[in-house]
Amino acid sequence: MVDAGYAADVRFATTSCNCLGFLGSALGGGQARTMGLYGMSVDQLISMNVVTAWGALIAVDPSNDDLWWALKGAAPNFGIVTSATVKAYAVPQAQNVVWTGTIVFADDRLEEFISIINDLYLQPEMQIHFLFSSAANGSTSITAIPFYIGSTAEGRQAFKSILDIGYISDTTAELPYPQWNEVADPFCSRGGRKPGYGVSMNNLDPQEWRSVYEDFKGLIKRYPFARKSIILAENYPVNSTAVQNGAGSYPFRSVKTHAVALPWYANASFDSTANQWGEQVRSALRSTDGLQHNANYINFAHGDETLKDIYGESLPRLQALKKQYDPLNRFNQWFPIV
């Protein structure tokens, strides 16, 4: 999709990982690196071909008001989307570039780093991930992945407050569209057990993140076979007009940060410990999330969250539509709305 678009001088609002399919992400809302300019991935849908609970293949677009709304955030409850028509944006290859890469910080800069991320106003062209990870020797690191749709000079100016902290290494560069997501390729490695625990938030508390980081270091030290484990936090420009003007059942358009604790290991005997750790990270970050109610981006969910955690204020309308479009609950594999 990306290569075809680049060759035709167009850009799609694609996902942040090369191994993640567009529709799979979009139907749960779809956080996208370009969402400040174009809206979420779900906002890119023009029409969908859908197999209904009665086995019919139908075309769905905005004229199907209720079903269209439900599919845009809770699709696994309402049908099987076999294909879709999506928006594309004309961008000449020479301009279809971003500034991105990795910036690694020392442990003692964590609180300052988190504080700056928390206060940073993300312009529509901006987006930033950060993660805790470990190397083969067991050493842990704090890594930022800034993303700016534009030139190196513009990107470094936009993220100046982050760069001014002082860093250990900086691999950022200006990259063409087909290479935007290469920095995330390690997350796409196959194999292993990866029970993710997601949490969404509007507040990043430096002391709480320090506690979470120290617990992460302890996990890697005690269980070196789990050294591929990570904690990832994605931060998006949700105040942009493109995001706020979108529509659909996805409920958390004003939530800036979506994080996930991902223990990664091979042996099922570690499941209990891994799940306990993931649950602890989620609970710790929820305690200072700045939200009135728990929020979980469905594509980062573990599976044990409440329906309100996943569907927020959209839940009552979704429950009513579920009775209309799938009264026998045939689509019941992922947070069934019953």
Q: Supply the pLDDT for residue 21.
A: 85
Q: How many Å apart are CA 67 and CA 44, to the nearest integer?
A: 16
Amino acid at 73: G
List strand residue ranges (DSSP E) for the chain, in order.
Answer: 10-11, 45-51, 57-60, 80-86, 89-90, 97-100, 103-105, 126-134, 140-148, 169-170, 173-176, 197-201, 230-235, 257-262
3-state helix, strand, coil in the chain (%, to 5): 40, 20, 40
Q: Is the pLDDT of residue 17 over 90?
A: no
Q: Tokens 């209904």 sit at which residue?
A: 52
H runs (alpha helix) in 8-148: 22-26, 35-38, 65-74, 110-119
Give CA 308 to chain center in angstroms: 19
pLDDT tens digit sequence for 149-193: 999 999 999 999 999 999 999 999 999 999 998 888 887 888 999
DSSP structure class, residue 303:
S
Q: Supply the pLDDT for residue 107.
A: 95
Query: Are residues 37 and 296 in contact, defined by beta-carbon separation less than 8 angstroms?
Result: no
pLDDT tens digit sequence for 230-265: 999 999 999 999 999 999 999 999 999 999 999 999
pLDDT band, residue 36 (cuts 50/70/90): very high
pLDDT tens digit sequence for 188-210: 888 999 999 999 999 999 999 99
Q: Supply the pLDDT for residue 87.
A: 96
Q: Is the pLDDT of residue 307 over 90?
A: yes
Q: Supply the pLDDT for residue 18.
A: 81
pLDDT tens digit sequence for 96-119: 999 999 999 999 999 999 999 999
- As a whole number, mean pLDDT of residues 117-146 equals 95
Task: Return all residues near 100 (Cβ < 8 A) that are at least 6 apart.
Answer: 145, 146, 147, 148, 155, 172, 173, 175, 180, 183
- As a whole number, mean pLDDT of residues 207-223 equals 97
Q: Supply the pLDDT for residue 186.
A: 81
Question: 298-319 burial, b if ≥16 CB within 10 A, otherwise e?
Answer: bbbbbeebeeebbbbebbeebe
